[in-house]
Structure 1
């Protein structure tokens, strides 16, 4: 056998070993997918259908990598929504080469696979209880003809309109190459009529309502001191499972439900809590795992009124849509069940560092500490079991050791 022939054989063996054949398709998430109304992509292996997963990325761009002739499903969930190229809600596409696919009898570039309108997600109510029976597990995902595909779940108290926690995973092998949304942040949505009954959460979060609530509970003088939109002194819709933890645009947009949020002071939301979320993605990428994440709330924030008394703050009535006292996040490496729990205050007006609800182990395990600027949030780390003792509604998580902070 000649050297050239041997090289050809070895090259083909290498492709076979990786389960790929040349040339195939490589669809860049940032360069080869529709910009406006990106569809949801699914892989199909016989009867097994799954949400399509990008290949591992080595930089700031991930891709869908397919063999020539390999098929995948393109879907535009939501009522009367269709793929512009085919006029159907769902179609099977087949890789030709590069970013060219055949779909609906046409050969097209994947950039043209727009949906007529936004690919919608849904919220469904399960029969599972959570938070010691106080909450109901709701799932957020995509409903297509092949079935229901969950993206994340939340533990929500329907009567009190508050969410105890949200659970999802960060795909560490592709999160660095996520789609960078070109449209403005979408509005949060109620999702279903049986959620937030009797009031509109859109109105509850508006700053004129915040002013009204604080003046009623605390008095005009205190309310004026606490609120100033130009100085990030207002309550934001604080994501529990954040959009940036997901690689694809429809998945990011699916996080914009009010059940996946709680009132969070903007200086903290865009301050040290944002840094905590970024650190979560950093660790997921460094470990190259599907990092399990549970994010929740604890307590009701208390603020000092005109008479010097502490009062609890609810954005609706006397007990609904509470402003949490704390936000917390538990990260778990599924390979060895190493976990870290991270806690952040939700009161930018603290005069001194609060007493931690559990022993701080950030420095011991290499995690960054954010404790110098209380206006941006006081953040510390705990062992899972210690935080679980302080947060009775936290779900059971299989944690066996402490997760160390790691960068690539």
Structure 2
């Protein structure tokens, strides 16, 4: 009898142990399942270009642009993250209903849902009533001695200014010394095919009236022909058709902006200089492409400066003397110089690596002497060709570049951007 009792006791103990193990496994399984459920619901993941024009998105009360993680095309936000949705100068529309507000604050709920004014709102139902209203401002800061610092971007209804582009403007020649942007490593995931805006110039910066009027082909032809001793209507240099004319050449390119708002903010006259169109659509365009491709391939966020240097020349018809070219000329002033060359400097602040890229700006020149040692062969990603008519281009180290071009802001360079 005692043996039976002992066996039964052992059996009961075993049943209890097995039951306990099973319960623990069940609880663990449920916990793990709950963890997976929570982890998939803890983020909002959105396509920033799902609607057009979409509200600009910023972490609440900040002005720093938000970009996808390198290698992705979406924006990710942790659950509960507070964000501002902004349509500068416009109104936000939700589910086809005008809110009469240009900014709203919301919190990430999950997936594409945000809590705005106590209501769960789907990201794809948020849209701006029109494209963002941009502006250009004089900051009051100086740059490069006599330069005036300008910023283009967007004013918000709570007093913030969201900068898209910084310009150091030369008030003596009414052209920029340089422009500056922070370029994201995801630049090749930028929005494409949005409407191209017209150039504007703001107020209180130029003294020459409408700057864009001096780029009209007939006007630039008359001005340049007068300078070099040709009849006003001669088509020797500024032709009636084709690419031999001076275009409004972007310093910071439209395609250097990730969002449509950033791209549109490049269409200020203060961001351009006279550039021969044979150069603008050829080698200079390739320099811009090469640098964007480098940023994407190397996963590098870059600080990018773009500027102009010198004044290009053409020979006088009678004397043969080289005459500097300007688009604005009167009895006392020569303004809007046609640059000798464009330059672009890219800098990685994490690695202290930098490079200077140079594009000549005169299709009628038969030879050029580089201003610094050409190290293009050290850059596997630099594909610009050396055809003179398309704008002879080359690369230099930043220290050697600085010996000639003194308008580049200071930063520490330790290696070449390769």
**TM-score of the superposition, structure 1-length normalised?**
0.86
Deviations 1:72-125 (A, max 9, x none): 1111223xx221332102111344444344445655443442222321232222
Residue correspondence of structure 1 range 388-403 to structure 2 within 5 A: 388-403=402-417
Report the RMSD for the aligned CA atoms in angstroms: 2.6
Contact 1:331–1:340, Cα closer than 8 Å, also in 2: yes
Q: Within 2, Cα distance between the matches of 1:77 and 1:97?
A: 26
Residue correspondence of structure 1 range 273-288 to structure 2 within 5 A: 273-288=284-299
Tell me which residue corresponds to 2:363. Answer: 348
Contact 1:49–1:146, Cα closer than 8 Å, also in 2: no
| Pair 1:210-2:220 in alignment | yes
Q: Which of 22, 25, 50 is matched with 2:44 structurally? A: 25
| Pair 1:41-2:57 in alignment | yes
Higher RCO, Cα 8 Å, sep 6+: 1
| Pair 1:168-2:181 in alignment | yes
Contact 2:43–2:76, Cα closer than 8 Å, also in 1: yes
Q: Within 1, Cα distance between the matches of 2:222 and 2:300?
A: 46
| Pair 1:114-2:127 in alignment | yes
Q: Post-superposition shift, 1:71?
A: 3.2
Structure 1: runs of 5 or more not aligned = none
| Aligned residues between the structures | 385
Residue correspondence of structure 1 range 9-408 to structure 2 within 5 A: 9=32, 12=35, 21-22=40-41, 24-30=43-49, 32=50, 34-35=51-52, 37-44=53-60, 49-58=62-71, 62-78=73-89, 81-85=90-94, 86-104=99-117, 107-131=120-144, 133-144=145-156, 145=158, 147-172=160-185, 174-183=186-195, 185-191=196-202, 193-218=203-228, 219-220=230-231, 223-228=234-239, 230-307=241-318, 308-317=320-329, 318-352=333-367, 354-404=368-418
Q: Within 2, Cα distance between the matches of 1:137 and 1:179?
A: 28
Tell me which residue corresponds to 2:10. Answer: none
Q: Within 1, Cα distance between the matches of 2:307 and 2:35?
A: 49
Contact 2:222–2:232, Cα closer than 8 Å, also in 1: no
* Larger Cα-atom Rg: 2
Deviations 1:177-214 (A, max 9, x none): 2111332x2111102x2111232012111212112212
